[in-house]
Structure 1
Amino acid sequence: MKKLFLLTFICFVQFSIVAQNPTPTKPRVLISTDIGGTDPDDNQSMTHLLMYSDLFQLEGLVSSPSYGDGNKEEILRMIDLYEKDLPKLKKHNKKLAQPKYLRSITKQGLKGNASFSGFTKATEGSDWIIKCAKKQSDQPLWVLGWGGLEDIAQALHDAPEIQHKIKIYWIGGPNKKWSANSYAYIVENFPNLFFIEVNSSYYGFFSHNNEPDTVKTSDYFDTAIQGAGHLGKDFKSYYDGEIKMGDSPSLFYLMDGNPDNPGRESWGGSFEKITHSPRTIYHGTTTLKDTVAYCSIIEMHLKGPKKELPINTVCFTMEIPYGNNIQKWSGYYLGNGDYAIRYIPKKAENIHYQIRSEIAELNGLEGDIVVTNLWPGKQQKDSYILGNNWYSDKSDSSLFDGKIQGGKTILKWRNAILEDWTKRWDWLK
């Protein structure tokens, strides 16, 4: 009996070590977030970040809303709540970040999408990314992308030398759909970046396995958060307190083990190298005979009249039904009668679209396309070729959580992560 108990204990200890290895050094971190936009999961993730701020060298909190009404004021509001709770938190951990410092590193980035070129103009946020990346340090700057890529793309455009000083963990998926042009700019011009592109694994933390956008029902708020300070009261405002935190896997990744090894087991997922980023170029509209991988770039070029218009002028929209709404995507004039649009589907589905424009030759065009469920799929002749440090969701079918590629690499740690967080919520009770 003693031997059985000892064996069980040893297995438990080994599992615990795998579940949370200490990070070699406290990582330098800059967050790019669309907090305050259409999805309140960024508020949940910001709460988590603030309560674990002792684990990171925080250098920037940048508002980068490629879609919706996100703004840096929402970051500042979250810091205000944190400040009210800080006296209780500091009784247990004196290394938590100071609110005054956090406000000083909060910056506003671009509001909205970049044009077809993938970049627009410098912002307070993109300039801050450059400044932080250029600091003298023996560590890279980890840029954690919780929203659009517009400010990251702008920073790389304005100071391409920083590509060797930053490492990126980006929550893609829906964010990739909104940042298609900036993503294309980065992948084409900076293929040698250290880039962890997480298009699906993060869903494993919160979703029903066949309904990626559906937040799991749990009693975590009632058992762990209820009555826990100002941050706890505010948490109830998001999904009625249910846990989503779709961006938090980027934090979990830096909390658990050596982040320089994306293939390891970690709270924030386990990833594999990919050699290409799929892109398919169409000259004309598409049909159901055309098939692409989810999260791949669809680039559609349409011929129309030659116009005396500046390059990157928006001349048409592509409309796609989404639930009870219609999502609209901008198309651009590239000169010489060439009109183009990029679109990145976030999941496997059949898509029907229509083109709307004041240009008669474009108005009323429509088409269809089939999207498959395995990323990145086969390399196409138009695919972007990547360097040796681009990683993404594991393609092993045994690691799928239902339809979610790589979902189990994060799902397996969910309980351990929440149990650890419960200890910190208890500090506020």
Structure 2
Amino acid sequence: MIKALNLLLLLFALPVLGQKTKPRVIVSTDIGGTDDDDFQSMIHYLMYADKFQTEGLISSPYGDGRTADIIRIIDLYETDYPKLKAKDFPEASALRAVVKQGATERAPSKGWSTPSEGSEWIIECAKRKSKQPLWVLVWGGIEDVAQALHDAPEIAPKLRVYWIGGPNKKWGADAYQYLVSHFPDLWIIENNATYRGWFQNYETGKIFDNSAYFEKHIKGHGAMGNDFGNYYKGVIKMGDTPSVAYLLHGNPEKPQEPSWGGSFVPLRHSSRREFTRATTLADNIPVFGLMEWVLKGPDTGPGHEEPCLWLEVSGQKFEGYYEGKGQYRVRFVPKSIGQWSYRISSHIKELDGQQGQFTSTDPLPGTRHPQDFGPLKGWLTDSPAPDLYVGEHQGAKTVNQWQQEFLADWAKRWVWLQEK
């Protein structure tokens, strides 16, 4: 009798144990912008579209990218769909229906501006009745997330944000300062360096030449496979893909545990330094920390959102703004360790030509500083453990160690698109 009862309980338990609820996902991507790796990442995402409830695909570029770039990849997916439909993949029309245009400009100094179709869609999806959180995978600018939270702060507990920061953080410095200042309890992974384990060689830290993988598993496999070779000649970069892999393998609600998308540690404070003078190499900030220069100039009345000065660093320009009462502010985030030089250009003669230097050091977030943002409760970031570096990239081994496993899993899916 007892054996029969145990068998009956097992039979009832099996369907429950075998089920896995698909995560609700919005992808915010700068596809078509300044870096072609988002095309690769979007192809990868669609190759795993059966694993997610895709609620949004938002175009949020720094550069020329627009929704048409997402639609083009969906068109390729539609060509391949007959070979995927039996495996619970969504129809292309369902994906097109959730493509939205996000912010195309950096946020001004206050960190938010006007709503975009993308930011409004984040709010709409977050307010839907669901027991699941809404995962927002940010592959580029954080502006749409900042705008959505500004317009509807009550959605914050519903969100799980995985942001590929790093170089993107320097472009979104103003939106970042708004988020970290006003939402210290937000559940967010700020992945500034861990993601590099996706394409870095384990021993050397250099970009891994995996073109042989493309030739063997991707080339000639459907419309998406043929298009993949148009980016980096098929060498796999996909720097944003760890955000997707994080939901594929591991427990997403336990970010400190192992997963294909890395493991992370709590970020109790976020590095910030404010200067009211030209800086020198003696001025240090942890890499990926936020720097702010607050400069004095002519008092021309109330502040405004039109940029009036530009910080020039490494051939790139970052807008600065007038805040009123003769105060001007510009922000920057160094994306790597080293020594930096900058120059300020402006039509305001008191500001034009100012220049200086500074030094960025490892690791983030560094020793607690009085100017840092915090205390933070929901934020997570790259592990500073010395044994988890790949080259100079903090935390990258928590992704890199799974490189062969997730590539092997992906290869199985490309077989589905192989010509018969």
Short-chain TM bin: over 0.9
The answer on 1:425 being equivalent to 2:420 is no
2:318 counterpart letter in structure 1: W
- 1:279 equivalent to 2:258? Answer no
On the 8 A contact 1:312/1:333 being kept in 2, the answer is: yes
Shift in CA distance, 135/212, structure 1 to aligned 2, threshold 3 Å: farther
Q: Does 1:89 align with 2:84?
A: yes
* 1:304–1:212 distance in 2 versus 1, CA, 3 Å: farther
Native 8 Å contact 2:85 2:91 kept in 1: no
The answer (yes or no) to whether the contact 1:210–1:404 under 8 Å persists in 2 is: no
- Whether the 8 Å contact between 1:24 and 1:257 is mirrored in structure 2 is no
- The answer to whether residue 316 in structure 2 is matched with residue 320 in structure 1 is no
2:228 paired with 1:235:
yes
User: Take 1:172 and 1:211, find their aligned partners in 2: how far apart are those partners?
Assistant: 23
Q: Deviations over 1:307-331 (max 9, x none)?
A: 146423311111112xxxx111111
TM-score calculated relative to the size of structure 2: 0.93
Paired residues, number: 402
1:182 aligned residue: 175
The one of 391, 402, 415 aligned to 1:402: 391
Residues in 2 aligned to 1:192 and 1:208: alpha-carbon distance in whole angstroms: 35
Q: Which residue of structure 2 lines up, in the alignment, with residue 134 of structure 1?
A: 127
Q: Deviations over 1:96-116 (max 9, x none)?
A: 011111011000011020100
Q: Report the structure, 1 or 2, having the larger strand content.
A: 1
**Separation in 2, partners of 1:311, 1:243:** 43
Q: Distance in 2 between matches of 1:209 and 1:294?
A: 22
CA deviation profile, 1:289-317 (whole Å, cap 9, x unmatched) = 10000100001101011114642331111
Percent sequence identity over matched residues?
Answer: 48
**What secondary structure does 1:168 align onto?**
strand
Cα 1:69–1:209 change in 2 (3 A) is farther
- Alignment equivalent of 1:248, drawn from 234, 241, 252: 241
Give how far 1:211 is off: 8.4
Corresponding residue SS for 2:84:
helix
Question: Which one of the candidate residues 40, 59, 68 is aligned to 2:55?
Answer: 59
Q: Which residue of 1 aligns with 2:137?
A: 144
Q: Is the 8 A contact 2:165 2:192 kept in 1?
A: yes
Q: Which residue of 2 aligns with 1:12?
A: none
User: 1:371 is matched with which residue: 341, 350, 360?
Assistant: 360
Report whether the alignment pairs 1:192 with 2:204. Answer: no
Deviation at 1:196, TM superposition (A): 0.7
Deviations 1:157-201 (A, max 9, x none): 000000011111110001111100001100000010111110000
Spell out, residue by residue over 1:196-222, the C-alpha distance to the aligned partner (whole angstroms, 9 max, x if none).
Answer: 110000001102469878453431110
The alpha-carbon distance between structure 1 residues 374 and 216, as it changes in their structure 2 partners (threshold 3 A), is farther
The structure 1 residue matched to 2:108, chosen from 100, 107, 115, is: 115
Any idea what the Cα deviations from partners look like across 1:363-389, whole Å, max 9, x if unmatched?
111000000121111111111114322
Gaps in structure 2 of 5+ consecutive residues = 1-16
**Counterparts of 1:210 and 1:132 in 2: how far apart (Å)?**
42
SS of 1:156 mapped into structure 2: helix
Structure 1 moving runs of 4+ over 6 Å? 209-213
Between 351-360 and 200-209, the greater mean CA deviation after superposition? 200-209
Q: Distance in 1 between matches of 2:325 and 2:48?
A: 53
Matches within 5 A, 1:23-62: 24-62=20-58
Give the match's secondary structure for 1:196: strand
- Shift of the alpha carbon at 1:25? 2.7
Gaps of 5+ in 1: 1-20
Aligned to 2:295: 302
Q: What CA distance in whole angstroms lies between the structure 1 residues aligned with 2:189 and 2:375?
A: 12
What is the DSSP-based 3-state SS (H/G/I as helix, E as strand, rest coil) of the residue aligned with 1:169? strand
